[in-house]
Structure formats: structure tokens, C-alpha cells
């Protein structure tokens, strides 16, 4: 047992050294937590364990202070085979690339390739986004401190609310709960409603609203939509979620997905680009997300439009350069930012793990002021 523990520790150190050489920026202790977290998620994937219970419900029963001290044990989660596979992959990356296998594209692959080229041209013509700032302006940082120091803090937006214990989860090192995730989704919806009003009030010569606006007409499903869909499939009760909205008239439907009460990811049904999209800051391929959302889309179309949905030209998509977390607790922040960028029609993300402290402070400011920042 002691010998196996030493072997795991040596492998962990070797892998950390190789990841550092490849650009990993966090310390060794954080890397250990990251690998423990990744192993935990892999075990869930192997068991196909996606429990339908309310996402991250266990976080409600524990105080932020208690949750912050939690650490997965190496002996419980980091298996030797995971470290072995990770080391082999890292070594392959450092070695010379193998000759590619012969590839003959299909018609759909050629079509997708052409679309990707068009998007690459669009990105080239689009001005390069500046890096995110290191912090908010001093007066806004002071406001963030005031929000956190207020034990009676309460922000409301339609049906969503965030109280002081929820807001504290946006301090470093803590997981986000449903309240934070869903309030952020409500902020995106509120921003679009404001934009729609602005566009309606514009003169005929300027129907596009504010200058440079690329906000999408989105619908956000709160975090309880996914577990219900996963457990029950498309049912009459789920159909009632859209009695007052036609999702097929939207540019995109955006949702937060929780996996096994352990990990947040973002997903979207992108009508403009004919894509079912999944964005995971741990880099897992989410085939279940693609399948379940395709089934939902067909069920919703049969219910509301009385015929099957036409999936011609649709693809399952994730961005190859999706930003990746380097620890076991920032997935909720990554997910909120994925959704926020998608709601603005962005095709890529310009944030990294290094931006998490700033983004957490920014989200506190946005929730406290009940609006998303424009900068």
C-alpha cells in the first residue's frame, strides 16, 4: 500500500512538471485537487451516473466555510491508470507527431469545413478583443466588499433571488449553487429584454438598436430543467415550460447542465448556426448532452409545431479551444461566462483560469447591481 502511494506521488509530480511545461499555471497542491476532481468525474462517466436530483443540492446543506475545506483523497479517487493515461498523453504531446491517417471527407464534413472557414474569416476581420482587466475599478471593488459584508444582502430579479450565503460562494475557492447560476441566467434574459425595447424605440433608419450590438435573442432554461429532462424525457409537464415562449423563434436556447451533482457545464441549442453545443471546462466530451437535447428539440417541435424537427445540416459542436479550469471548484464560474459570451453571439472566449478572481468579483458586482456590465 505504501509502495503504491509512493508510485502515485511520483507519477503526480512527473505529470505536474510536464503540465507546467505545457502552460499549466497553478501550484502543485491545486494540481493535486484538479486531478482528484478529474478522477471523480471520470468515475461518474464510467458509471453513467447522472443523477436527476436538483443540481448541486448537496451544496445547500453545507456552509461555504465547510465546503471550502473539502478535499478529495488521493487514495479514493486518483487511480494509477488515470495518472498513467495522463502521463502517456503528455509524453505523446512532447514527442514528434505521428503521421496522420489518410482522410477522405464526407459531404457533411466538407460543409462543416466551409462553415468553419467562414467563421475563421469573420474572426480575422473582427477586432481582437483586449485581455480582461486584473480587477474592477476601485469604487466598484469597494461596492463588492460592501455587498459581501452585508449579512442581509438580497438581490431579486423576477423569480430569482440571491441572499448573502449564496453571494459568498463567489469568493475564491467555492462552488457555485443553483441560485447564483440561475440569477446570472436571469440577468442575460433581462439584458435581452432591455435590448429588444431599445431596438423597438429606434428610428426606422437604425433598427438594430445600440451601435455594435450583437446580442442574441435567447431563452434561458434554469438549472432544474436539465435534471427533469434527463429523468423524465419530454413529458407534458416539461412541455408547459414553454407555453409562453416559442423557442424556435429564438436565436439560441442556453442552459446550465449539472453532472452528477459534481460539475457544471454549459450547453446551447443554436438555431442560427444549426448546432447542439456543449462547453466543458474539464474537457470531457458530453455525448449525453447532445443526445438528450436532440430528443428534447424533436419532442418540443412535435408538440408545438405538430411535426418532427428537421435536423438536416445540424451538428454536435464544441469549441476546440474551450477555456479549461485548473482546479476542482471554478466550473460554475466558467459555465456562467460560457453562457454570457454565447448570449452575445461570441464564437470564442478570451478568459482563462487566471481571470477567475476578476470574474468572481465582477459577478458579485453584477448580481448586487442587478445588471450585467457593458465593459
CA neighbor of 21 nearest in space, from 34, 29, 31: 31
Distance CA 83, CA 80 (A): 5
- C-alpha distance from residue 150 to each of 135, 154, 170, 278, 368 (Å): 21, 9, 14, 36, 11
Q: How many residues does the chain have?
A: 375
The active-site residue out of 251, 331, 336, 355 is: 331
Distance CA 264, CA 36 (A): 16
Annotate 13-46 with b (16+ C-beta within 10 A) or e (fewer): eebbebbeeeebebeeebbbbbbbbbbbbbbbbe
DSSP state of 242: G
The active-site residue out of 219, 263, 336, 355 is: 263
Give 106-112 contacts, CB < 8 A, sequence gap 24+. Answer: 108/315, 111/313, 112/315
Q: Identify the residue whose cell numbers are 476532481.
A: 37
Active-site residue, 263 included? yes
Active-site residue, 259 included? no
The active-site residue out of 280, 330, 336, 355 is: 280
| Residues that are catalytic | 263, 280, 331
Amino acid at each position: 500500500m505504501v509502495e503504491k502511494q509512493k508510485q502515485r506521488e511520483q507519477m503526480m509530480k512527473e505529470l505536474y512538471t510536464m503540465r507546467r511545461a505545457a502552460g499549466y499555471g497553478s501550484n502543485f497542491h491545486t494540481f493535486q485537487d484538479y486531478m482528484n476532481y478529474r478522477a471523480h468525474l471520470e468515475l461518474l462517466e464510467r458509471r453513467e451516473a447522472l443523477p436527476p436530483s436538483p443540481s448541486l443540492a448537496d451544496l445547500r446543506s453545507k456552509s461555504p466555510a465547510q465546503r471550502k475545506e473539502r478535499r478529495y483523497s488521493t487514495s479514493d479517487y486518483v487511480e494509477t491508470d488515470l495518472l498513467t493515461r495522463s502521463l502517456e498523453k503528455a509524453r505523446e504531446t512532447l514527442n514528434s507527431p505521428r503521421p496522420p491517417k489518410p482522410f477522405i471527407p464526407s459531404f457533411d464534413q466538407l460543409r462543416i469545413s466551409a462553415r468553419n472557414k467562414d467563421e475563421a474569416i469573420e474572426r480575422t476581420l473582427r477586432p481582437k478583443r483586449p485581455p480582461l482587466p486584473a480587477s474592477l475599478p476601485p469604487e466598484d471593488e469597494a461596492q463588492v466588499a460592501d455587498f459581501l459584508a452585508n449579512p442581509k444582502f438580497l438581490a431579486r430579479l423576477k423569480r430569482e433571488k440571491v441572499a448573502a450565503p449564496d453571494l459568498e460562494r463567489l469568493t475564491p475557492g467555492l462552488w457555485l449553487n443553483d441560485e447564483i447560476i440561475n440569477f446570472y441566467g436571469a440577468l442575460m434574459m433581462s439584458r435581452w429584454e432591455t435590448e429588444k425595447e431599445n431596438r423597438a424605440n429606434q428610428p426606422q433608419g437604425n433598427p438594430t438598436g445600440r451601435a455594435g450590438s450583437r446580442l442574441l435573442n435567447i431563452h434561458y432554461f434554469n438549472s432544474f430543467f436539465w435534471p427533469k429532462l434527463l429523468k423524465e424525457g419530454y413529458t407534458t409537464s416539461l412541455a408547459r415550460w414553454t407555453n409562453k415562449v416559442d423557442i424556435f423563434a429564438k436565436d439560441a436556447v442556453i442552459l446550465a447542465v449539472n453532472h452528477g451533482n459534481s460539475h457544471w457545464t454549459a450547453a446551447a441549442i443554436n438555431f442560427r448556426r444549426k448546432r447542439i453545443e456543449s462547453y466543458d471546462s474539464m474537457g470531457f466530451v458530453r455525448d449525453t448532452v447532445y443526445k438528450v437535447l436532440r430528443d428534447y428539440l424533436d419532442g418540443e417541435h412535435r408538440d408545438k409545431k405538430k411535426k418532427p424537427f428537421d435536423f438536416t445540416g445540424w451538428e454536435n459542436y464544441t469549441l476546440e479551444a474551450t477555456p479549461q479550469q485548473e482546479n476542482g471548484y471554478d466550473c460554475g464560474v466558467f459555465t456562467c461566462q460560457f453562457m454570457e459570451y454565447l448570449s452575445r453571439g461570441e464564437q470564442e472566449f478570451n478568459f482563462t483560469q487566471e481571470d477567475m478572481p476578476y470574474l468572481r468579483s465582477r459577478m458579485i458586482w453584477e448580481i448586487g447591481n442587478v445588471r450585467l456590465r457593458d465593459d
